[in-house]
Amino acid sequence: MKRNLFFGTLMILSSSLFSQTLSDAIKQTNNELFETAETSFKNLIQAQSGNGDNYFYFGENYFKNDNIDMAKDTYQKGINANATNPLCYVGLGKVQWYQNKATEAKASFFKATTLAAGKNATVLMKIAEAYTKADTKDITEAIKLLDNAIKLEPKNPEAYILKGDALLEQNNASAAIENYEKAGSLDPKSVSAILRQGQLWYRAKNYNLALEMYKKASLIDSSYAPAYREKAEIYFLAGQYNNAVGQYKRYLDLNNNCSARGRYAGFLNQAKQYKESVAAANEALKCNPNNAYLYRYKGYSQYESGDYTNGLQTMNAFFNLASTNPKIKIIAEDYEYRGRLYAKDTKDSTSFLLAIADYKKAMELDASKSELSGDIANTYIKMKKYPDAISAFKTKMEKGKPSANDYFGIGRAYYYSKDFTNADFYFDQLIKLQPDLPLGYLWKAKTSLQLDPKNETWLAKPHYEQFLLKIKPTDAEKSKKDVIDANTYLGVYFMNKKDICTAKTFFKKVEEMDTSNANAKKFLESAEAKKCQ
């Protein structure tokens, strides 16, 4: 008898322990500690292999971490282990609903509600959650289920949170906030209720109030990782990148797993911390080498940080992975970035052709990217296909207001085509659009030299003068050859006008920039020049 009593007591204590452990594992999932929770659920199932709830919440952990295949497998294992547990049928139905298999999903939901016999609020809530959060929604049915769940458990804050979510999908923000606040009044320490309020205010673009809610959630539970991620997003929108990254690092301190590091890589890319984004992506790829999105973030960041060779390899790896996974949606920016990377690969013209093909694909996917016609045109210039470049620039300019880059690009294309009249016209347009830009005057001068090759009218003189007047001393060294050419031209002009002393000032500038310049040396050593003090 004592032996039976001992084992009975042990079973009660074990049940209590496992229940608490299940609660902890669920909390880990809610805190997005997916890999930590995975270990907890595996331990639970090893200890209680017939408990369907363990399998269901383990499946939820996979589902919330975007691993729908493992989620489905885990729900099915729960059904196999305990065929009378309704929750695993809910999980299976949710997967089917997300996969647009409505008939199968409703059959699974019906099985779940039949087993629950209308007495399990959690079953109703979880079905409602699927109807609310999937791409294909049934908000009317979701609210009906949630109202029934609230009748069964009127003090369950989760039911009000989910009802708030459903109402928000109907754009009924005032009713949604009432339900979130009701959940908060039932459980003042419900960080989920507070987070939802913050997300609602974020959606309404009341970022200050949203931030206040997220801070409140962190004060209640400093281990609640989602609050730090949401704060990071707000700081990012405000342009406070240091604060944003600080919050996301705090998120990683709590949620330092593979999937979190992957999200961090994407976040750093958005925050324009490109080298850090590459490092974070490399860390995440160690444990998830087939995550196409990591290759996307890494490739984008490698381009932005100037690592073009490796960036091209990374983007090609992304496209290879995306081609074998229909769930990966290739977007216009993917082609745009790979195109830019191909354009940086100057080994042969094949890369330029591949760049042009990718730019065109990007514009096909997103008509707003018409500016890529300019990149196509500039690539044609690199290939010395000037008529194609001119055509591409004209296509771009016809679709919108021409930019300075457009005028500069088409002017160069005409210049290299030896159509100096048209080149001159477009460099004039560049000067009109940006009168303080030295580049316009420089190329106007170059073109004038071609239109006046014998310096019969010294057509380039006023443009070289403006070029030297407009260029900043800090930029002169970068444009050293052009500055020397301008000063040499003006020196020769004043020589021809017999203004030797003025000519000397220009040749002195040439000598200062190039001490071995033969023209400057010859002039400055002449008897006429030496007379000028």
DSSP string covering 9-36, please?
HHHHHHHHHHHHHHHHHHHHHHTT-HHH
Sequence-distant (6+) residues with CB within 8 A of 315 are 295, 296, 299, 334, 337, 338, 341
Per domain, the residue ranges of the chain are: 487-533
Question: Which tokens in the block code for residue 498?
Answer: 């017999």
In this structure, are residues 200 and 167 in contact, taking their beta carbons and an 8 Å threshold?
no
Task: Say whether 196 sits in a helix, a strand or coil.
Answer: helix
Give 302's pLDDT tier (boundaries 50, 70, 90): very high
Q: Which range has highest mean pLDDT (18-22, 30-34, 186-190)?
A: 186-190
Distance between CA 245 and CA 272 in Å, rounded?
11
pLDDT of residue 13 exceeding 50: no
**Rounded average pLDDT over 27-43:** 88
Q: Residue 328 corresponds to which amino acid?
A: I
pLDDT of residue 4: 38
pLDDT of residue 1: 34
Is the four-CA dihedral 183, 187, 193, 197 of positive or negative sign? Answer: positive
Residue 527: its H or E element:
helix 527-531
> What share of the chain in percent tops pLDDT 70?
96
pLDDT of residue 7: 29
Closest CA to 57 of 96, 11, 90: 90
pLDDT of residue 19: 41
Please provide the DSSP assignment of 368-408 as one string: T-TTHHHHHHHHHHHTT-HHHHHHHHHHHHHHSPPPHHHHH
Over the stretch 472-486, which tens digit does the pLDDT of each residue have? 988 888 899 999 999
In this structure, are residues 241 and 235 in contact, taking their beta carbons and an 8 Å threshold?
yes
Sequence-distant (6+) residues with CB within 8 A of 92 are 72, 75, 76, 79, 108
For residues 441-463, one letter each, b for 16 or more C-beta atoms within 10 angstroms of the residue's C-beta and e for the rest, the string is: bbbbbbbbbeeeeeeeebbbbeb
pLDDT of residue 26 exceeding 60: yes
In this structure, are residues 243 and 267 in contact, taking their beta carbons and an 8 Å threshold?
no
Distance between CA 504 and CA 107 in Å, rounded?
94
pLDDT of residue 15 exceeding 50: no
Q: Furthest-apart CA pair in the chain: how many Å?
A: 127
**E-assigned strand segments in 32-144:** none
Question: Which tokens in the block code for residue 290?
Answer: 């087939």
pLDDT of residue 16 exceeding 60: no
More confident residue, 235 or 425: 425
Q: Which range has highest mean pLDDT (323-327, 345-349, 457-461, 473-477)?
A: 457-461
Give 244's pLDDT tier (boundaries 50, 70, 90): confident
Question: Which tokens in the block code for residue 67?
Answer: 């691993």
79-93, 291-305, 335-349: range with lowest mean pLDDT: 335-349
> What share of the chain in percent tops pLDDT 90?
69
pLDDT of residue 165: 92
For residues 255-281, one letter each, b for 16 or more C-beta atoms within 10 angstroms of the residue's C-beta and e for the rest, the string is: bbbbbbbbbbbbbbbebebbebbbbbb
Question: Which tokens in the block code for residue 163?
Answer: 């009802």
Tell me, rounded to whole angstroms, the distance of Cα 331 from its chain centroid: 11
In this structure, are residues 211 and 198 in contact, taking their beta carbons and an 8 Å threshold?
yes
**Dihedral angle over CA of 398, 403, 406, 412, nearest 10:** 140
Please provide the DSSP assignment of 322-378 as one string: HHT-TTSPP-HHHHHHHHHHHHH--SSHHHHHHHHHHHHHHHHH-TT-TTHHHHHHH
**Dihedral angle over CA of 114, 115, 118, 121, nearest 10:** -130
The average confidence (pLDDT) of the chain is: 90
Over the stretch 176-195, which tens digit does the pLDDT of each residue have? 999 999 999 999 989 999 99
Supply the DSSP symbol for 257.
S
**Dihedral angle over CA of 47, 51, 57, 58, nearest 10:** 50
Sequence-distant (6+) residues with CB within 8 A of 533 are none
**Rounded average pLDDT over 337-366:** 91
Over the stretch 506-525, which tens digit does the pLDDT of each residue have? 999 999 999 999 989 999 99
In this structure, are residues 197 and 181 in contact, taking their beta carbons and an 8 Å threshold?
yes
**Rounded average pLDDT over 371-399:** 92
Distance between CA 5 and CA 372 in Å, rounded?
79
| Helix, strand, coil percentages for the chain (3-state, nearest 5) | 80, 0, 20
